[in-house]
């Protein structure tokens, strides 16, 4: 019963926070104006700046910020115990993450849809703009290199997820054309529900008849280009992302994200009901399935909980990537400024709710056992001793024993990315089995959810990186990089060259994992920078800043502390002491340097900024070519 009460209590807390703290920010601090001229109307171009309904933008924004972030992060962090992870998700999302996302969205809305990196040049200093853009560039390169691998790994381990993920793309394009033909009064929901039904039909087909396993068709030696299923999927995903990032948002991005958001609502509802049934029947018990705090049981090679809890759980509590979505795509689609509370603040709280479900699935769900039914290949997600224990017993391992064999059987912190994602997929499938769904179908439903969300983040990140590369080209006066096609090719080529690198075992297509240890700290540093921009925006207008300045300080200290620890600057071991960590050391030291420089820029600019408005944007060279420009009516 405790498990169900934690889930319901968390959800109620998020709803209360939205209608109290979120409303205070919306009305008293940012003073959202329903009659304000928004960028989607002022600069409408039919490609990036497209006025859209609140529900459609919410679907895009939420699925873009979510991805696998609120799944992988909490699934790792419960390694320290479920209580610290739960507290950080709940309070972090309400008081830091949602404020961060909301602030970045509003600042961008009031600066013609510019990214927070671009706005930093006027709010802080011209040098701050370039420092921010370089940090964004490094962070997005890491995202592209890693998330392509995550999806490819899911396709390889869960071949039943391939068909429904790819079939959702033509469905989304069809919905996009219907939406475009129907105009602004078109009701997308009925057709989107039909599209979602088709996706779920393909989920069943994938689970029971049409799994797509490329491993059957690729030679063992990968001839002639060291090809393997992961690398092939990565190539196909990058080709897709290149096309998706330059297409008008209404063609694919908006309808696909809208379907994915409906998929999440259905999955979250099923998981919550399944959790309730399992908790009430006593088969799911958080307190007996996993420790609230591991204490002295933590392996010797594990990093300290402080600061690493705060960079391991990023999405779900606070994530710098979100500021890119808020200011890179969502601000260009809102048709009314008052929609920002729901899009910016509300989406982050829903992501917090998803992270809570992940924590419960990775603990109470894993503790339900039933892993003896895992199909061949999926058992690769578990540790070797876990598989050995399953083979020896011939039956389910339940309770805390199941959790320990999943998370700590080898006595090592490094349990692998697959095991972390797999803990949620299998634990979530156990919740669904409490509703009578076959475990095989439950695994397929959750695996497709994870893969669809990861794909959403991947193509959104490609579009965002295109913006960043174009802004860098504009700032450095490099003409080719200002072209959106050249910028997209440049971004994807760099990410693929990293992904092409072999891993420690010499397998190509998994090189992105070399940068995985940098992802958390770099991502959270972006959050600190975005909170800086919002702080300066309010400081220049004489508004209160304590509620954003305190999170800013936290999100500057935590990634700096974590990177210093990883490098070995404040302990006796680290990347600096290892000969094969040149790439990690280089990017980490550059990131630390950029952070120190940015803090210096802030300290210098702070005393001069209070009550002094930043320079106004120059007038537009030409008016928007679409529709009226009266704000609400566009």
Per-residue confidence at 389, pLDDT binned at 50, 70, 90?
Answer: very low
Contacts of 366 (CB under 8 A, 6+ apart): 289, 290, 402, 403, 406, 423, 426, 427, 430
Tell me which of 379 and 61 has the higher pLDDT: 61
Taking a C-beta distance cutoff of 8 angstroms, is the pair 472, 137 a contact? yes
Residue 463 is predicted with a pLDDT of 87
Show the domains of the chain with their CATH numbers.
2-615 (1.20.1730)
Would you say residue 475 has pLDDT above 80? yes
Write the pLDDT tens digit of every residue in 189-211. Answer: 889 999 999 999 998 998 887 78
CA 90 – CA 386 distance, rounded (Å): 31
Question: For the packed helices 384-393 and 399-407, what is the interaxial angle rounded to 10 degrees?
Answer: 140
Share of the chain above pLDDT 70, in %: 87
CA 492 – CA 2 distance, rounded (Å): 46
Looking at the chain, how many residues does it have?
A: 634
CA 343 – CA 366 distance, rounded (Å): 33
Q: What are phi and psi of 543, to 5 degrees?
A: -90, 160
52 strand-pairing partners: 334
Residue closest to 156 by CA, chosen among 393, 477, 619, 507: 507
Q: Is the pTM of this model over 0.85?
A: yes
Would you say residue 601 has pLDDT above 50? yes
Write the pLDDT tens digit of every residue in 440-464. Answer: 888 888 888 888 888 888 888 888 8
Would you say residue 335 has pLDDT above 50? yes
Which of 28-37, 132-141, 503-512, 519-528 comes out lowest in average pLDDT?
503-512
How many C-beta atoms lie closer than 10 Å to residue 440's C-beta?
A: 18
Residue 349 is predicted with a pLDDT of 97
How many C-beta atoms lie closer than 10 Å to residue 128's C-beta?
A: 26
CA 256 – CA 539 distance, rounded (Å): 38
Average pLDDT, the chain: 84
CA 432 – CA 445 distance, rounded (Å): 9
From residue 149, alpha-carbon distances to 70, 226, 290 in Å are 17, 16, 29
Q: What are phi and psi of 252, to 5 degrees?
A: -135, -50
CA 367 – CA 285 distance, rounded (Å): 8
């Amino acid at each position: 019963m405790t498990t169900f009460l934690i889930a319901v209590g968390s959800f109620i807390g998020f709803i209360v926070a939205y209608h109290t703290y979120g409303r205070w920010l919306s009305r008293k601090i940012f003073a959202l104006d329903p009659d304000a001229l928004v960028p989607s109307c002022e600069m409408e171009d039919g490609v990036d700046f497209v006025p859209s309904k609140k529900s459609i933008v919410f679907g895009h924004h939420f699925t873009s910020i979510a991805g696998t972030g609120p799944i992988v992060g909490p699934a790792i962090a419960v390694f320290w115990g479920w209580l610290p992870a739960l507290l950080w998700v709940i309070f972090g999302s309400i008081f830091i993450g949602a404020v961060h996302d909301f602030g970045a969205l509003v600042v961008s809305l009031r600066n013609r849809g510019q990214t927070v990196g671009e706005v930093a040049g006027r709010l802080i200093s011209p040098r701050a703009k370039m420092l921010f853009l370089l940090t964004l560039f490094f962070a997005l390169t890491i995202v592209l290199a890693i998330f392509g691998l995550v999806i490819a790994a899911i396709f390889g381990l869960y071949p039943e997820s391939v068909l429904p993920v790819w079939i959702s793309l033509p469905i989304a394009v069809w919905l996009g054309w219907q939406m475009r033909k129907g105009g602004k009064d078109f009701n997308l929901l009925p057709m989107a529900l039909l599209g979602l039904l088709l996706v779920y039909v393909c989920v069943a087909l994938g689970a029971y008849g049409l799994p797509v396993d490329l491993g059957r068709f690729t030679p063992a030696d990968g001839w002639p280009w060291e090809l393997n299923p992961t690398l092939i999927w990565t190539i196909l995903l990058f080709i897709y992302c290149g096309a998706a990032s330059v297409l008008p948002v209404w063609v694919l991005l908006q309808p696909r994200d809208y379907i994915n958001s409906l998929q999440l609502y259905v999955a979250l509802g099923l998981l919550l009901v399944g959790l309730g049934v399992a908790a009430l029947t006593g088969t799911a018990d958080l307190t007996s399935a996993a420790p609230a705090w591991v204490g002295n049981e933590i392996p010797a090679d594990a990093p300290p909980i402080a600061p690493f809890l705060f960079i391991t759980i990023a999405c779900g509590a606070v994530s710098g990537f979100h500021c890119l979505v808020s200011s890179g795509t969502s601000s260009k689609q809102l048709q009314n400024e008052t929609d920002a509370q729901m899009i910016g603040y509300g989406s982050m709280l829903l992501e917090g709710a998803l992270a809570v479900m992940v924590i419960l699935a990775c603990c109470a769900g894993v503790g339900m056992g039933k892993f003896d039914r895992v199909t061949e290949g999926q058992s690769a997600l578990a540790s070797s001793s876990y598989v050995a224990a399953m083979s020896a017993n011939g039956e389910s391992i339940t309770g805390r024993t199941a959790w320990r064999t999943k998370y700590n059987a080898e006595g090592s912190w490094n349990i692998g990315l697959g095991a972390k994602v797999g803990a949620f997929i299998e634990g979530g499938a156990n919740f669904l089995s409490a509703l009578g769904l076959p475990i095989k179908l439950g695994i397929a439903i959750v695996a497709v959810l994870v893969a669809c969300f990861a794909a959403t983040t991947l193509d959104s990140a490609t579009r965002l990186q295109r913006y960043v590369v174009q802004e860098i080209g504009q700032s450095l006066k490099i003409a080719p990089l200002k072209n959106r096609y050249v910028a997209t090719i440049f971004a994807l080529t760099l990410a693929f060259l990293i992904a092409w690198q072999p891993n420690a075992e010499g397998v190509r297509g998994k090189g992105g994992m070399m940068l995985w240890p940098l992802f958390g700290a770099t991502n959270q540093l972006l959050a600190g920078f975005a909170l800086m921009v919002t702080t300066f925006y309010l400081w220049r207008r004489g508004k209160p800043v304590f509620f954003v300045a305190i999170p800013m300080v936290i999100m500057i200290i935590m990634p700096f502390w974590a990177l210093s620890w990883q490098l070995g600057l404040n302990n006796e071991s680290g990347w600096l002491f290892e000969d094969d960590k040149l790439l990690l050391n280089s990017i980490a030291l550059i990131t630390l340097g950029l952070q120190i420089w940015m803090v210096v820029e802030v300290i210098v600019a702070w005393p001069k900024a209070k009550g002094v408005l930043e320079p106004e944007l120059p007038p537009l060279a030409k008016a928007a070519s679409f529709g009226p420009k009266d704000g609400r009516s566009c």
